[in-house]
Structure 1
Amino acid sequence: MKPLKSAIFLAFSLLMAACTPQAVTESDIPYITVVTDLVTSGVVEDFYSLNGTVSHNQENLVFSPATSEVLAVHVKNGDVVLEGDILIELDQEAIEKQLEQTKKSLDLAYVSYNSASERYKDALATLERTQQLYDQGAISKQQLEQAQLAASNSPVTSARLQYEQTRLQYENLSETLEDSSITADAPGTITNLGINSGDMVQAGSILCKIIDDSTFKLELKVSENVVQHLALGDEATIIIPVIDSTYTGLIVEISPTPGLNSKLYPISIHFEGDSTVKSGMYSEVVFDLSSGIATTRIPSLAVLKDNSGYYVFKVTGEASVRQPVSLGFDNGYFVEVIDGLMPGDEIVVKGQQFIRDDIETKYIRRDEE
């Protein structure tokens, strides 16, 4: 029985100890710790980026002025030329034959044009007489309409156009005959040259290109929300990852209307490159749409929202109070404060979602974290 009594006494003692009130220390009171910071004044940066493909700003096509045999090619792909440099020489004999044939075509076109003009004058005179007869009731309306149709000047217009085209061709051939050398119209680098001495080339065919490899362009399309912030002369940062290079370009063209079947506005950017930049390279174009004006701003993560709107917790003394705010542009890092706060105010920027009236809050300044 003695061991049983001892066990009962021990259990009773433990029960009484559990029921005895204990002193409550400060460390036993629940609390939360939040981080605060001062409201600042600064620019809320707004960057917008697009992807594009680099191309040469200026490409001059070199055409063959006549159908002829190539006598000599004085350049090769990659050569740098100046304006007026001789590129290709054509066979003058072949050009002379074309000139003779073109002269015959020009004479025929002139005769055709004169004939069409005479027929048109006759048709006008016939129409005037027919109109008078119709007004007198001597002929039907159908006869009048036939006379009106015959008095159309379309044949004259077509004949004149044919004559002008043939005349222009004849003049070009005459100039080519005087100097059968094809020269560079602008300075640059030769590309897309694919002919050799002895080849036959057709009139109007492209012989090569002359590109300006010092200036480049990007043709982009932007939305209406972006185009309203852009202006001619604005700078853009151009990043070309493959050569790990960055350049500054200028907006030189902004379309006042969106493209066909599109709500996007075409824009053009020019920039000066170097020998590492090549046409066709992928690039990222970054626009700074910031106003450049310093405003009251706070970290975006400091803002809370409920049914009544946006708010933050403003620190006053040893407490924090709910402070409604009106917000402007938000770039994801900082947000513009239009109303509700001033630079120098202290707000909670971390842990604010846990603040409650029934829990003590301890404050740590961000620079003391």
Structure 2
Amino acid sequence: MKTNTSIYTNRYMKTYSSLILILLTVVAFSCGKKDELTVKKDELASLKKDANELRLKIEALEKEISLLDPEFGLANRKAVLISTIQPTVGKFENYVEVAGSVLSKKNVNISGEVSGRVTEVIAIEGMQVAKGQVMARIDSESIQRNMEEVQKQLELATIVFEKQERLWNQQIGTELQFLEAKNRKETLEKNLASLRTQESRTLVRAPFNGTVESVQVRLGELVQPGSPMFQFVGVSELYVEADVSERYIGVISRGDSVEISFPSINESFRTKVSAVGSIINPNNRTFKVEVFLPNLPNVKPNMVSVLKIKDYEVDEAVKVPNYLILQDNRGEYVFIVEDGLSKKRYIKRGRTYKDRSEIVEGLTGTETLVDKGFREVGDNFSVTIAA
């Protein structure tokens, strides 16, 4: 038993020793590998530091040499990555854009024509009314009483006249009696017709098709002839009125083509200038322009509109985007590309409309303009055009 125990003990000790040896070997290998990685990282950091210092020295030296030798600076300048576009050549049009308002030639105040108390108000604000439709009633009791009295007098005068006429035909009586009876009858007929006209005027009617904008009278209110009762706007004979700056005097005239748009309903159409004012408003230095409107179902009085009136046109013009035009003390310029370099080209600008400008001098339309990157380049900069 002792012998077996010793054998087992020896085997265990050998196995344990082997494991310890393996562990020590692994630890030693790991430490060696870690030390080698640290050395390489330190070496890389040192090289990067040296490279950065060297780059700074190179850049500083290049700047010093460029100051002494400008050609060296141009030759060693880095190329700027850009994109290019071509100027467009074609028709150029300029428009005057002004805001206008839709008005109606039939914008009136409806007033009472007779005195009396309002007995009924039929029309309400926003109501569509046809021509001749009753909008309000004024008390006509006194007029009706006068009509009844005159009617009775007329009946009697008619009987007297008929008798005098028969006698006169029989050559009985005098001519004066006949003429008096006739005059009496005709006078009463005219009085009755006048009273009937007054009675008809107690009914306030719409003078044309339109819309009741406001009601200015109340039930039971006493009105006089000329008292405003309704503001009434017709649905026809609409026009647009706009204030145009005095600098366009002589440019805009009657009959000119004009495009009108209504932002609220997203509609537009072409028409013509129907009238041009001849008086300058001293408050805002503008004059009136009227533009005729056809009958449009969705256009209402007081609606806001935008007028585009053409005031300039050229069949062949060189056009460039506005954002490419720069300016210095000498004037306006753009950058063009020639032989791999950006060149400053001074220009003379004509009219500008929206995002395009007419170039009257400096460009022929065959040049290549610097587009993206135009603010990073200068005169004689080396450029690379992006594919």
Aligned residues: 269
Residue 260 (structure 2) pairs with residue 237 (structure 1): yes
Partner of 1:7: none
Equivalent residue for 2:356, pick from 334, 340, 357: 334
Partner of 2:113: 65
Equivalent residue for 2:233, pick from 203, 208, 211: 211
- Partner of 1:83, secondary structure, is coil
2:102/2:305 contact within 8 Å kept: no
Equivalent residue for 1:355, pick from 357, 378, 383: 378
Shift of 1:93: 5.3
Partner of 1:160: none
2:340/2:382 contact within 8 Å kept: no
Deviations 1:22-67 (A, max 9, x none): xxxxxx8622223222221134454554445554452232221121
CA RMSD of aligned residues (A): 4.3
- 1:297 is aligned with what amino acid? K
Deviations 1:195-218 (A, max 9, x none): 567553211112223322356444
1:299/1:349 contact within 8 Å kept: no
Unmatched tracts of structure 1, length 5 or more: 1-13, 20-27, 100-169
- 2:266 is aligned with what amino acid? S
The 3 A distance-change label for structure 1 pair 335 and 247 is: closer
Q: Aligned equivalents of 1:74 and 1:83: distance in 2?
A: 15
Residue 276 (structure 2) pairs with residue 254 (structure 1): yes
The 3 A distance-change label for structure 1 pair 356 and 201 is: closer
Equivalent residue for 2:365, pick from 322, 331, 343: 343
- Partner of 2:323, secondary structure, is helix
How does the TM-score come out when normalised to structure 2? 0.55
The 3 A distance-change label for structure 1 pair 43 and 67 is: same
Q: Aligned equivalents of 2:272 and 2:145: distance in 1?
A: 50
1:65/1:204 contact within 8 Å kept: yes
Shift of 1:349: 3.2
Equivalent residue for 2:331, pick from 297, 309, 331: 309
Residue 214 (structure 2) pairs with residue 192 (structure 1): yes
Partner of 2:314: 293
1:44/1:334 contact within 8 Å kept: no
1:43/1:290 contact within 8 Å kept: no
Q: Aligned equivalents of 1:79 and 1:29: distance in 2?
A: 77
Larger Rg: 2
Deviations 1:280-302 (A, max 9, x none): 55x35242446343411122233
Deviations 1:72-97 (A, max 9, x none): 55655444443344444544554599
Larger RCO of the pair (alpha carbons < 8 Å, separation 6+): 1
Q: Aligned equivalents of 1:77 and 1:323: distance in 2?
A: 64
1:66/1:95 contact within 8 Å kept: no
1:305/1:311 contact within 8 Å kept: yes
1:302/1:350 contact within 8 Å kept: no
2:95/2:312 contact within 8 Å kept: no
1:328/1:336 contact within 8 Å kept: yes
- 1:190 is aligned with what amino acid? V
Q: Aligned equivalents of 2:194 and 2:216: distance in 1?
A: 23
Q: Aligned equivalents of 1:228 and 1:255: distance in 2?
A: 11
**Overall identity of the aligned pairs, in %:** 20
Unmatched tracts of structure 2, length 5 or more: 1-46, 55-75, 148-190
The 3 A distance-change label for structure 1 pair 36 and 52 is: same
Equivalent residue for 2:87, pick from 39, 46, 54: 39
Q: Aligned equivalents of 1:194 and 1:332: distance in 2?
A: 46
